[in-house]
Amino acid sequence: MSVPTIVATYNSTYTTVTSPKTLTITTQANDVVVVYGGNESGTTGINIPTGRITFSAVQSLEGDASYTNAYLWSGVDATGGTNWTLSVSATAADVHWGVTAVVIRGTNGVRASAQNRISGTAATVSLTTTQDNSTIITFLTDDNALDGSGRTWLTVNGITPTSGNGLEKTYSYDSTHYTAYGAVYTDAGIAGTKTVGLSAPTGQEFSIVAVELLGTPKIHTLTDSFDDGVMDPSLWVPPTDDSYTTETGGTIAVTLPSSTPLYSSMASLNRYDLTSSNLMIEVPQRLNNINGCETLLSIVKTPSIDFVGFVYTPNWLVIRRKVNNTQTDGGFTYNATTMRWWRIREQSGYTYWETSPDSYVWTTRFYLPNPFAVTSMLVNFGAGTWQAIADPGIAKFDNINLPMTRSTVSWLSHGDDVQAFKKNTAETQPNGTTLTTANSGGGNSNAFDAISTQGTISKTFSNETASAGAQSYKIVPSSSSGVFLIYNSPAGDTSGSLQAYFYFTAYPSANQLVLSMRTSSNARIIDYTITETGAVRIYNSTGIFAQAVTSTAGIVPQNTWVRVDLSVTVGATTTTGRYTAALSIGNSTTATWSYDSGPTGNTGTSLIAQYSIGKLDIVPTISTFYIDDIAYAPGATAFIAPIN
């Protein structure tokens, strides 16, 4: 979940009677503007703000002569504007009052809100947030006009607003009239009851209001199988005309009328963050191959102005982007088998258009630097005709961000970019048998091309634990020992992927290499290592420490099967390669940690000739560990699918 971003705060004076009061504000498309304000008199009020956007009341505390007033309003700017005027007026001419506008970006809008009035205590209010990582804005006025110079804000999720950290947005003290305070809690943490406001000063006669602003979920969290025959109102905006776009037969079907130019589509109710995330969808059926028919998927920043997407036209898959209302199209010949799944993803500042036959192995068709900010995006898919078509046919969509079940995916046909595929499941010999090159194959396993050892190290088939099936390889090292399980590719590969499952009972004494891709001269292309603290490290072809884990997401758990993945595309130069790495728990299709070098990685320029798995560093010591379900795919440009 991405927390909302507080972009700017605009304060009027709170110690004058001037009315109206105006603020000059700059916004971008889809920004939310929250306005709070208050005055010294409970019997006179403040009118709703006006300007280029429409505001709605969120909370209003007024009408009690014993207290001051406090208000919250919100509005959404659909298109954005520079230096526009927000105007607010008071209902009486002789009352001190003021307002503040806060511009928030990357939010799905306001949700929970609360108010409170009590005399003689510290000013607090509780509200129950509805989503993790929400932002809370709170505002209060004190009719006792206490001096707040020693004020202390309550702490929520480790966040304590102060004037120094910029999270206190308003403080106005007028000893003869009232005191006003405003603050932001940028990340309220796990959804639940939150108490915000001040612990000091006490003895206030206060009116306090608060509002939750939802964060933006990652776009891969949007999932729908369309199996229940009912469009989920918590996910989708109903189509303008339900007769054309319906949920039926386990899909979304777009059935267009004859000889009537028309577009019909589904749109997400909420916005999502594409950053370091992806959206994929299965497209089992497109409109007919007739000029004028289009089947579409778009991820939209500003409708009709800024979006990226795919468009299927007769026998052609178009890569489309529209930036500031300027459209650019590219594309390639469509293959209904290998391009059944469409995906748009973002990584390290680049947007990628990708296709897949099975939702597991993906081929990158195009990429470029993000054409605009992708932190607040709508999802739109559907079909249409731009001219009269007698029989446009039916377009069908399925499985938003829900990969095919593993049993429906063949290990040996992982996509049109894979030249060959080998796997080894450690099931070919009885428990306790020493592993050799000769006995490593058979059944559903491809034998290793070589197994090399250094020092004294035991390597046996073992039924003590397995990631899948009944057995794995049990590795029992001694000091200064190593084992190399090797697949060779003598002709060399311009790209390839490597995967293995590991079960570590303890961490190594020092950085330990476990996966590697090498050239024919045994020069490094990419290395995947585990440190003495269990953290993942990736090294590029020059041995540069390319990526370190900085969060617990990239720590390998002990006594748990984990899947480690590498995928490399060798560059024509030392600045045009690409390497990706991931760490996942078991067969999960969602990595706990991943890294993508982007299209400027240093892989060297030599082809991949060797894929190695094991204890590939001799010096570090490590306790008994297990390896299972090894796979490599020369020619692949994406991670290999999980074993199950």
Residue 458's CATH number: 2.60.120.200
Structural domain range at position 260: 219-403
Are 20 and 126 within one domain?
A: yes
Are 162 and 195 within one domain?
A: yes
Give the pLDDT of residue 552. Answer: 57
The answer to whether position 642 is within a domain reads no
The answer to whether position 454 is within a domain reads yes
Q: How many domains does the chain have?
A: 3
Of 377, 403, 429, which one is at a domain's C-terminal end? 403
The answer to whether position 120 is within a domain reads yes
Rg of the chain, C-alpha, whole Å = 30
Residue-averaged pLDDT of the chain: 90
Q: State pTM to two decimals.
A: 0.59
CA distance 27 to 10: 12
Are 293 and 425 within one domain?
A: no
Residue-wise pLDDT tens digits, 483-514: 999 999 888 888 889 999 999 999 999 889 99
Are 521 and 539 within one domain?
A: yes
Q: Calculate mean pLDDT across residues 121-126.
A: 93
Are 575 and 611 within one domain?
A: yes
CA distance 360 to 120: 62
Are 107 and 66 within one domain?
A: yes
Of 158, 179, 213, which one is at a domain's C-terminal end? 213
The answer to whether position 639 is within a domain reads no
Give the pLDDT of residue 357. Answer: 84
Are 184 and 140 within one domain?
A: yes
Are 207 and 68 within one domain?
A: yes
Are 130 and 277 within one domain?
A: no
Of 191, 213, 235, which one is at a domain's C-terminal end? 213
Are 600 and 617 within one domain?
A: yes
The answer to whether position 643 is within a domain reads no
Give the pLDDT of residue 2. Answer: 81
At residue 413's C-alpha, the angle toward residues 596 and 514, to 5°, is 45
Residue-wise pLDDT tens digits, 427-478: 889 999 999 999 998 877 889 999 999 999 999 999 999 998 889 999 999 9
Are 166 and 56 within one domain?
A: yes
Give the pLDDT of residue 160. Answer: 97
Give the pLDDT of residue 420. Answer: 52
Q: Of 164-168, 310-314, 462-466, 488-492, give the lowest mean pLDDT range.
A: 488-492
Are 415 and 371 within one domain?
A: no
CA distance 99 to 88: 8
Does a cis peptide bond (omega within 30 degrees of 0) precede residue 369? Answer: no
CA distance 522 to 516: 10
The answer to whether position 474 is within a domain reads yes
The answer to whether position 641 is within a domain reads no
Beta-sheet strand order (sheet of 31-39): 5-11, 97-105, 31-39, 69-77, 56-61
pLDDT at position 424 over 60: yes
The answer to whether position 303 is within a domain reads yes
Other beta carbons within 10 Å of 573: 11
At residue 45's C-alpha, the angle toward residues 39 and 46, to 5°, is 80
